[in-house]
Amino acid sequence: MPPAEPPESSLIPATRDFPSSIVFIPAGSVNPGFVNLLGLPLHQLGRGQTALVGGKQLNPPRVLLADDHQAMLDTEIALLSPTFDVVGTAADGEALLSEARRLHPDVIVTDISMPILNGIDAMRKLRESGSTAKFVFVTVHSEEEFVAACMEAGALGYVRKSCLNHDLVPAIKAALAGQP
């Protein structure tokens, strides 16, 4: 016998505070067969959807990191791991393409200047191949032409490495909500 579904009133649809990629489930209303807004059991949420139970995340967004400096990757991993599922890293643009196609992350955090293929061109190639990942650039470049090139190519975030500790997590959250 399937578990009983919660009453519809316990399902809270996406709002401005909870974008459509987030399914909010009030605390205390979860049982093994709980059905979310989409009519799917929690373990069947689609890629890019995050379930919140009582405001706590069940499946954090999957993040792929790309930078040609291992120290920067280590810093980003330490900063992001408490909030996100860091699923992989890449040290150049070609590796970024390969890992993104293999891992299907929700968000890609990438440097612009990398060997073999720069981050902007890697993002364009991934878009052309159908990737729906959100992109946030982390770079030393603060010149307007770099910011403009990233945003014109479809990035939703741009963080200077000098502001990483303060700005990266909010930039990723904004990108997940579809906000530049």
For residue range 51-60, list pLDDT tens digits in order.
555 455 568 9
Q: How confident is the prediction for the chain on average, in pLDDT?
A: 78
- Give the phi and the psi of residue 129 in degrees, each rounded to 5: -90, 5
125-163 pLDDT, tens per residue? 999 999 999 999 999 988 889 999 999 989 999 999 999
DSSP for 81-149?
TTTSEEEEEESSHHHHHHHHHHH--SEEEE-SS-SSS-HHHHHHHHHHTT---EEEEEES---HHHHHH
Cβ–Cβ under 8 Å, residues 141 and 112: yes
Q: Is the pLDDT of residue 20 over 50?
A: no
Q: How far apart are CA 137 and CA 42, in angstroms?
A: 31
Report the CATH architecture of 62-176: 3-Layer(aba) Sandwich (3.40)
Confidence (pLDDT) at 180: 81
**Six-digit token pair at 154?**
């479809």
Confidence (pLDDT) at 111: 96
**In the predicted model, what is the mean pLDDT of residues 159-172?**
94
Q: How far apart are CA 47 and CA 146, in angstroms?
A: 30
Question: Quick check: pTM over 0.85?
Answer: no
Q: How far apart are CA 121 and CA 127, in angstroms?
A: 10
How wide is the angle at C-alpha 35 spanned by C-alphas 33 and 37, nearest 5°? 170
The domain limits of the chain are 1-59, 62-176
Q: Is 139 or 7 the better-scoring residue by pLDDT?
A: 139
Q: Is the pLDDT of residue 19 over 60?
A: no
